[in-house]
Structure 1
């Protein structure tokens, strides 16, 4: 699964000790000037938001009820300025709903642009 599969959840994980549920989006797309990537990402985030707010997350992981929910965006490519602005707005919008939004490169490899 990936960001282009806008109607599905890419990955779900739990940190029981930290009481957090992670819903991960795997994003390997390049950033474009037409903002097609951003529109695709927005659709994907809306799918995740529906999954959370509709109660589907609670049904899928009943042991995680009451846990903090984190939408984690794992990026292959370093975001451009428009993406950073979008992430800032998304962070606030989701925080207002009690959802944490984090984004960044793969923990092991970093952004593709940083790999040698």
Structure 2
């Protein structure tokens, strides 16, 4: 699964020690000038938000009760300025709902643009 599967959750993880649930979005898409990528990402994040707010997360993972929630966005490509602006706005919206948004490259490979 990935960001293009806007109606599904890509991955869920629970760090019991940190008491944090990670809802992961895998995003291999290239950034485009028409912002189709951003609209797709917005739909995916809305799906994740609904998953949390509707109680589906607790049904799927009862151990997550009382845990902090983070949406983790794993990007293949370095974000554009428009994407960074979108992330800033999205972070504030999610923060107001007690959800953290974290984003960055794959920890092992980095962004595609950084590879030789």
The alignment's TM-score, normalised by the length of structure 1, stands at 0.99
Q: For 2:63 and 2:32, locate their aligned partners in 1 and report how far apart those are by CA, in whole Å.
A: 40
Question: How far apart are 1:95 and its partner, in Å?
Answer: 0.1
Q: For 1:36 and 1:5, locate their aligned partners in 2 and report how far apart those are by CA, in whole Å.
A: 14
Q: What is residue 79 of structure 2 aligned with on the other side? A: 79
Q: For 1:111 and 1:11, locate their aligned partners in 2 and report how far apart those are by CA, in whole Å.
A: 20
Residues paired across the two proteins, number:
116
Q: Which runs of 5+ in 1 are unaligned?
A: none
Q: For 1:56 and 1:95, locate their aligned partners in 2 and report how far apart those are by CA, in whole Å.
A: 19
Question: How far apart are 1:50 and its partner, in Å?
Answer: 0.2
* Per-residue CA distance 1:21-77 (angstroms, 9 max, x = gap): 000000000000000000000000000000000000000110110000000000000
Q: What is residue 93 of structure 1 aligned with on the other side? A: 93
The alignment's TM-score, normalised by the length of structure 2, stands at 0.99
Q: Which runs of 5+ in 2 are unaligned?
A: none
Q: Alignment RMSD, CA only?
A: 0.3
Runs of 4+ in 1 over 6 A off after TM superposition: none
Q: What is residue 29 of structure 1 aligned with on the other side? A: 29
